[in-house]
Structure 1
Amino acid sequence: MIVIAIVSAKGGVGKTTITANLGVGMAQRGYPVTIVDLDPQNAMQWHLGGLEQGERNGISLLTTTRAKLIDACYTSPYGVDFIPYGNGGEVQRMRFEQLLEQQEPWLRKKLQAAKLPANAIVLLDTPPGPSVYLKQAIHAADFLLVVVLADAASYSTLPEMEELISTYGHRSNSEVGSAYIVNQGSHRQLAQDVVALIADRLGERMVPYIVQESPQVEEALAFERPVLEYKPDNPAAQTIQKIIDWLLAGLKGGR
């Protein structure tokens, strides 16, 4: 099992969209994929479908001792299993966050207890910025993917994200690996300049493929479908496929 946390320092960078499409692309390659939505916005369901309107169940409701991840797992029409955050109300959210704060390895233990196949890939979608969810995700992850935009605001968050990775990603025997995806790139000069700055700062930790802006990505979300399934020939979809190949090759090689 490989656990990958998809994280960001700021909102609005397309992190959930990237997570959903990475999962679908990995499933297309034959991997058993489970996506866990750790964001209280509970938005992953709109990318993957498979939930009845008004469905409340999700990971945030698994606060009893014997609760298992499979108790909140759904099968998407697009080849992946996913666990929504759930909609149990504000009191339940606070109860869940208190549990996560008190039990740092909670998610890692739940994933281990799930007994997923050896070649399974788990993707963790997290809310932006520091949070108990980010701490849980990094603690459980084998690798981190940080999503940023090709803009000055994202570039300015790099030190903050690096500090979070350093603080939460420390292990007794190793450090969790990480790489950065630039999303919604464009041919505007400012965007190109920012990408050059990001590349100069990160070196090999910057994913060598940039996901370009595309209205079809937004169209896919409107239809509650991943763009890899909605418009697989779209340039953004093709770039995500390249990122998946790059990521899998690196993880197998010990990136």
Structure 2
Amino acid sequence: MYRSDDISNLFRKLGESAESYREIEPELDYVEEPPLAAACVSAALAVAAPAVAAQPATADTNAPAPAPGAPLASRPRTLSDLLAEATRRRESLQSPEFAPQQHGKGSPRVITLVSGKGGVGRSTLVAALACALQNEKGRTLALDLDPQNALCLHLGGDAEQPGLIQGNSEGLSWDTLVQRGFAHSQYLPYGSASLEQQRALEQRLRDDPQWLARHLAQLGLDANDRVIIDTPAGASAYLDQALAVADLVLVVTLADAASYHALNHLERLLAPNHQREDAAPCHYLINQLDNSRAFSLDMAEVLQGHLGERLLGMVQLDHYLGESLAYARNPFAREPVTPGCRDLLGAAANLSEALRQTARQESTLS
């Protein structure tokens, strides 16, 4: 049976004639509708950003229909158009928590923590100083340049949080990577990295000496803000970048023989930085001093004699700091404050004074 016979039989059953039947092949301009998830995102963005009132269109019955290949403005908006608009609106939004604050002019005060060997508690100190160095007029940002990615754990974060390694490999802005830590501090993690990602970033640091300075400038920080940088032990591309932007260098050491001998090597690494005209002053901090051991006290005395006025302070061994890391809590939230935390608060006060002295010297020379 042919198709025409089917159509004739159908019209006969309906009591009509099939003589006037004509088949028309329509040309449909199909426009894909955005999926439900995209619609939800657009609705959420409409709440965060001011909506643009749509202008009512006036129908023109005499206007010709748009021809194929007409300009995009005269054609229906496609899904790619809607997604591009959603992307632009999302990227234009800034989290109020980390929006740049206009406190004053100038660059932030940058403190770089370094060490000649690992295991001296450098990341613990960076996190503690980020909590203790609070300034009601500005922000305190802890920046992790150590591939171990441990700093975020000391400030209540997650090791899987994206960090500057993802910013480098995926082109993410640092503004979107900053996280909130304990005591109103902020931190930017290094991020969980593969060996390939780490090598790519380190090569970029060697090729671009202004990499860190440029990224810090894009964060909208000013003279009332403070940046505390955690670096890996020993020589590295990370250390070179951190020293180039430092207003003050803080060397962390232990009161033991290995740390004492490592200081000589570290001082040789820092020598080129000290020879610069704009070299940042260098101070030292003895960490994890064990008052129960005579040898530890003797080593502290030897270091104090060697460092003289460059010694910023000493922090006695405090197991509560390690417990705070295990329980993901702010060590300064405990009352009464433990001996180690009390030493850290004193070191933070000395550090603030050292920064003020540096600022006064710069203003006198300028």
Q: Could you say whether these structures have the same fold, taking a TM-score greater than 0.5 normalized by the shorter chain as the test? A: yes
Paired residue for 2:99? Answer: none
Paired residue for 2:180? Answer: 75
Paired residue for 1:101? Answer: 206
Paired residue for 1:54? Answer: 160
How far, CA to CA, are the matches of 1:231 and 1:93 in structure 2? 41
Which shifted more, 11-20 or 229-238? 229-238
The structure-2 alpha-carbon separation of the partners of 1:232 and 1:182, relative to structure 1 and needing over 3 Å to count, comes to farther
Letter in 1 for 2:331: V
Shift, 1:229, TM fit: 2.6
Paired residue for 2:132? Answer: 25
How far, CA to CA, are the matches of 2:296 and 2:196 in structure 1? 42
Paired residue for 1:89? Answer: 194
Q: Deviations over 1:74-98 (max 9, x none)?
A: 1124311110001132211111111
Q: Secondary structure at the match of 1:85?
A: coil
The gaps in structure 2 that reach 5 residues or longer are 1-107, 362-366
Question: Given that residues 137 and 224 in structure 2 are in contact (C-alpha distance below 8 angstroms), is that contact kept between their aligned partners in structure 1?
Answer: no
Paired residue for 2:266? Answer: 161
Residue pairs, 1:76-225, within 5 angstroms: 76-171=181-276, 173-187=277-291, 188-207=293-312, 209-225=313-329
The structure-2 alpha-carbon separation of the partners of 1:64 and 1:218, relative to structure 1 and needing over 3 Å to count, comes to closer
Match of 1:241 among 345, 349, 353: 345
Question: Given that residues 117 and 234 in structure 2 are in contact (C-alpha distance below 8 angstroms), is that contact kept between their aligned partners in structure 1?
Answer: yes
Paired residue for 1:250? Answer: 354
Question: Given that residues 58 and 72 in structure 1 are in contact (C-alpha distance below 8 angstroms), is that contact kept between their aligned partners in structure 2?
Answer: yes
TM-score by length of 2: 0.65
- Does residue 8 (structure 1) correspond to residue 115 (structure 2)? The answer is yes
How far, CA to CA, are the matches of 2:194 and 2:251 in structure 1? 29
Q: Secondary structure at the match of 2:192?
A: coil
How far, CA to CA, are the matches of 2:240 and 2:332 in structure 1? 30
How far, CA to CA, are the matches of 1:106 and 1:141 in structure 2? 14
How far, CA to CA, are the matches of 2:308 and 2:140 in structure 1? 29
Shift, 1:197, TM fit: 1.4
Question: Given that residues 20 and 226 in structure 1 are in contact (C-alpha distance below 8 angstroms), is that contact kept between their aligned partners in structure 2?
Answer: no
Letter in 1 for 2:151: M
Question: Given that residues 8 and 129 in structure 1 are in contact (C-alpha distance below 8 angstroms), is that contact kept between their aligned partners in structure 2?
Answer: yes
Letter in 2 for 1:227: P
Shift, 1:249, TM fit: 1.1
How far, CA to CA, are the matches of 2:302 and 2:235 in structure 1? 24
Match of 1:42 among 126, 146, 149: 149
The structure-2 alpha-carbon separation of the partners of 1:136 and 1:230, relative to structure 1 and needing over 3 Å to count, comes to farther
Question: Given that residues 139 and 169 in structure 1 are in contact (C-alpha distance below 8 angstroms), is that contact kept between their aligned partners in structure 2?
Answer: no
Q: Secondary structure at the match of 1:253?
A: helix
How far, CA to CA, are the matches of 1:169 and 1:69 in structure 2? 29
Q: Deviations over 1:203-236 (max 9, x none)?
A: 10011x3111111111111112232234561011
The structure with higher relative contact order (CA 8 Å, sep 6+) is 1
How far, CA to CA, are the matches of 1:21 and 1:198 in structure 2? 23
Q: Secondary structure at the match of 2:251?
A: strand
Moved over 6 A (4+): none
How far, CA to CA, are the matches of 1:202 and 1:41 in structure 2? 29
TM-score by length of 1: 0.91
Paired residue for 2:46? Answer: none
The structure-2 alpha-carbon separation of the partners of 1:135 and 1:3, relative to structure 1 and needing over 3 Å to count, comes to same
Question: Given that residues 62 and 69 in structure 1 are in contact (C-alpha distance below 8 angstroms), is that contact kept between their aligned partners in structure 2?
Answer: yes
How far, CA to CA, are the matches of 2:151 and 2:324 in structure 1? 13
